């Protein structure tokens, strides 16, 4: 048991070091849009998912830093299981479906102190004098 805990602790430390050394697009808990997918799963592109961390390197993601994901809606998602088994299924956290960080773009809420609306000044037309 002690060996397992030691291994788990060192894995977490390595993951934290990787995250510190690499710039990730997403962070734990973000909503993100899928912008890349495996061949056969392209229909997932454009779907909004929630990401759960920590980000970690996984064979499932081609040894890229990846996140566990779950769609925010209940629509089925295409999932490619190795070798070449394509399934359409409802994705849950327990399924441990992963996508690389580079295939996700986070949806960021506006900053609290920044305006999201910009007022434009439009030139006013000169009023024509009314004829009597």
Cβ-proximal residues to 118 (8 Å cutoff; 6+ apart), any chain: none
Cis peptide before 7 (omega within 30 of 0): no
pLDDT over 90 percentage in the chain: 51
What tokens were used for 132? Answer: 């009597």
Q: For residue 132, is it within any domain?
A: no
The mean pLDDT value for 45-56 works out to 95
Q: For residue 59, is it within any domain?
A: yes
Q: For residue 125, is it within any domain?
A: no
Residue 4: pLDDT over 50: no
Q: For residue 67, is it within any domain?
A: yes
Q: For residue 29, is it within any domain?
A: yes
pLDDT over 70 percentage in the chain: 65
What is the extent of the structural domain holding 54? Answer: 25-106
The mean pLDDT value for 35-61 works out to 92
The mean pLDDT value for 103-108 works out to 92
How many domains would you assign to the chain?
Answer: 1
């Amino acid at each position: 048991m002690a060996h397992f805990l030691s291994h788990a602790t060192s894995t977490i430390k390595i993951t934290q070091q990787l995250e510190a050394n690499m710039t990730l697009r997403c962070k734990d808990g973000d909503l993100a849009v899928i912008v890349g997918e495996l061949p056969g799963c392209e229909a997932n592109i454009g779907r909004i998912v929630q990401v759960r961390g920590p980000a970690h390197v996984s064979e499932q993601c081609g040894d890229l830093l990846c996140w566990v994901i779950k769609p925010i809606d209940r629509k089925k998602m295409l999932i490619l299981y190795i070798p070449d088994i394509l399934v359409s299924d409802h994705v849950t956290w327990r399924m441990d479906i992963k996508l690389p960080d580079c295939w996700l773009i986070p949806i960021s809420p506006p900053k609290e102190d920044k305006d999201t609306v910009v007022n434009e000044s439009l030139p006013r037309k000169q009023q024509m004098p009314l004829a009597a």
